[in-house]
Amino acid sequence: MARLKEAPPPVLDEADGSAQSASGAVDVGPLGEMVGYALRRAQLAVFDRVIKEFAALDLRPAQFSTLALLKHRPGLKQSEVAAALGIQRANFVALFDLLEKRGLAERRPYQRDRRSYALHLTPAGERLVTRAQDIEAAHERHLEQILGPQGRAQLLQLLRQLAERL
């Protein structure tokens, strides 16, 4: 597996004694060999690009995930969607309220439990998530260009393995 790209040798700033590479990147030392650090840096890079790409749709990654899941599995309960996406229930309620206010999704009475709601996309939500999925597909192709098809598949396998075993 490839290691994080190593920064050029650090340059000491005589004013404050800090070390930076010639490119301005801080030498992170042992952090560069830590899975959690590398994973977080990669997540930030991927999300930064996705956020920029979804900006034209006024859509955030968590909103996209919610809409995409509801397109795939309409009628799930709020608690099921929140759990599947790893979003705390209170945060999910606020997220879904916003989608509902935008006319993208709606709550309907859940047939088997009248205390719960089934979540569904509206026609406007269907149209928006279809556009967003096109943007996401292009983003995935870009990632595959960087990683290669086998590298992308291997990365997904390793990430699933981490998620399942930790």
Domains of the chain: 35-165 (1.10.10.10)
Q: Which helix (H) or strand (E) holds 49?
A: helix 35-54
Supply the pLDDT for residue 120. 98
| Contact (Cβ atoms closer than 8 angstroms) between residue 23 and residue 7 | yes
Specify the DSSP class assigned to residue 10. P
The arithmetic mean of pLDDT across residues 41-64, rounded, is 96
Give bridge partners of residue 117 from the DSSP assignment.
Answer: 109
Supply the pLDDT for residue 14. 54
φ, ψ dihedrals at 11, nearest 5°: -115, 125
Q: What is the largest CA-CA distance in the chain?
A: 69
Q: How far is CA 51 from CA 16, 81, 107, in A?
A: 35, 21, 26
The arithmetic mean of pLDDT across residues 19-38, rounded, is 81
pTM score: 0.80
